[in-house]
Amino acid sequence: MRIGLAADNGAWHRGRLLAALRALGAEPVLFSLADVTVTTGGGEPLRVPGFSDRLPDGVLLRTIAGGTFEATTLRLGVLHALVAAGTVVWNAPAAIERSVDKAMTSLLLARQRIPTPDTFVLSRREAAAAVVAREAAPGRPLVLKPLFGSQGEGLQLIETPDALPPEELVGRVYYLQRYVARRDGRWRDYRVFVCAGRAVAGMIRDGDGWITNVHRGGRPLPWAVPPRAAELAEAAAAAVGVDYTGIDLVEDGEGGYLVLEVNSMPAWSGLQQVTATDVAGAVARGFLAAVRAAHPPRLVAAQG
């Protein structure tokens, strides 16, 4: 198999995935989406570094190099072109687009009746202010999240309409979600790692504040994922169409869970500290199985 690994940043994750793929007998070509070009006038117009004669059978995507809106659009277009040509891409560009856009994630989860905190997405400040006036109060806030954001960056608790920022500071989109406090007053939620449709590992994220992301100082703690949480995370991954993902959950106060986030490019260094599961190995196995299923080996006729 001709395998590519696109991992522009994050040396730890890149190293773990390289080692896992090699342990399974694959020798991936490491490349950056920023180095892929489109050249017309002869042969395949999509030129992927390290694959001179034909396109890869599979590409495992760890990160997309940051850049302008135009650069990001080009890189997602490259991934769409690979999928259209028969390359297996994990995660597929359509799934990335769905999960990066929190509004689309919420819409897809709601259509599948997957429980989440009540969510409101609006474009105008006046409409958002009316929602806050109706749904929030001191001590009962809504969470304002960037539509495109990760690792807990840019989150705000909103209790009154006056606390809403101007439209230009939120990209003219207000994504508001009900804040779900724990009954014991602790700042704690959960991450479930799902790969190829199956929950493979999980952790508690324990914080000194209401933002518990490990990137923001949250502490990873071991967690034996209950069946109810595993099933919910698997259903959320299927609803958004991600092949491997980190699903963030919070307790609903009634013995169940709510889905907070579906992450299409999840980090797992914190999770790996508290689980015996080789997360990179699980991703590599699932990815290679998908490539083999799409590109079965050719049988060579015996010479008589």
Per-residue pLDDT, 218: 82
* pLDDT tens for the 304 residues of the chain, in order: 899 999 887 899 999 999 999 999 999 999 999 999 999 988 899 999 999 878 999 999 998 877 788 988 999 999 999 999 999 999 999 999 999 999 999 999 999 999 999 999 999 999 999 999 999 998 899 999 988 766 556 789 999 999 999 999 999 999 999 999 877 778 889 999 999 999 999 999 988 777 777 776 788 999 999 999 999 999 999 999 999 999 999 999 888 999 999 998 999 999 999 999 999 999 999 999 999 999 887 655 545 4
Per-residue pLDDT, 295: 84
Q: What whole-number distance in Å separates Cα of residue 89 and Cα of residue 106?
A: 24
Give the pair of three-digit tokens for residue 76.
Answer: 């997602």
For residues 141 and 225, membership in a common domain is answered with no
Per-residue pLDDT, 304: 45
For residues 34 and 48, membership in a common domain is answered with yes
Which burial class, exposed, middle or buried, applies to 63 when counting CB atoms under 10 A from its CB (0-12, 13-18, 19+)?
middle
Among 178, 196, 222, the domain-final residue is 178
For residues 130 and 168, membership in a common domain is answered with yes
Q: By residue range, what is the domain housing residue 149?
A: 118-178
The torsion of the CA quartet 142, 146, 147, 153, rounded to 10 degrees, works out to -110
Q: How far is CA 92 from the centre of its chain?
A: 11
For residues 256 and 200, membership in a common domain is answered with yes
Count up the domains in the chain and report the number. 3
For residues 66 and 140, membership in a common domain is answered with no
The enclosing domain of 192 has a CATH number of 3.30.470.20
- CA diameter of the chain: 84
Per-residue pLDDT, 299: 57
The torsion of the CA quartet 74, 78, 84, 87, rounded to 10 degrees, works out to -160
Per-residue pLDDT, 153: 67
For residues 194 and 262, membership in a common domain is answered with yes
Among 161, 178, 195, the domain-final residue is 178
C-alpha distances out from residue 243 to 118, 194, 198, 217, 286, Å: 26, 8, 10, 27, 8
Per-residue pLDDT, 298: 65
Residues 159, 140: contact at Cβ < 8 Å? yes
Among 178, 193, 226, the domain-final residue is 178
For residues 205 and 268, membership in a common domain is answered with yes
> pTM of the prediction?
0.91
The pairs formed by 18-27 with CB atoms below 8 angstroms and a separation of 24 or more are 19/280, 20/278, 20/280, 20/281, 20/283, 20/284, 20/285, 21/60, 21/284, 21/288, 23/281, 23/284, 24/284, 24/285, 24/288, 26/1, 26/284, 26/288, 27/3
Q: What is the DSSP string of the chain?
A: --EEEE--S-HHHHHHHHHHHHHTT--PEEE-GGG-EE--SSS-SEEBTTBSSS--SEEEE-------HHHHHHHHHHHHHHHHTT-EEES-HHHHHHHHSHHHHHHHHHHTT-----EEEESSHHHHHHHHHHH-BTTB-EEEE-SS--TTTT-EEE-SGGGSPPGGGGTT-EEEEE----TT--EEEEEEEEETTEEEEEEEEEESSS---GGGTPEEEE----HHHHHHHHHHHHHHT-SEEEEEEEE-SSS-EEEEEEESS---HHHHHS-SS-HHHHHHHHHHHHHHHHSPPPPPPPP-
Per-residue pLDDT, 42: 84
Which residue is associated with the tokens 């919910």?
A: 232
Answer whether residue 195 is part of any domain: yes
Q: What whole-number distance in Å separates Cα of residue 201 and Cα of residue 246?
A: 10
Cis peptide upstream of residue 263 (ω within 30 degrees of 0): no
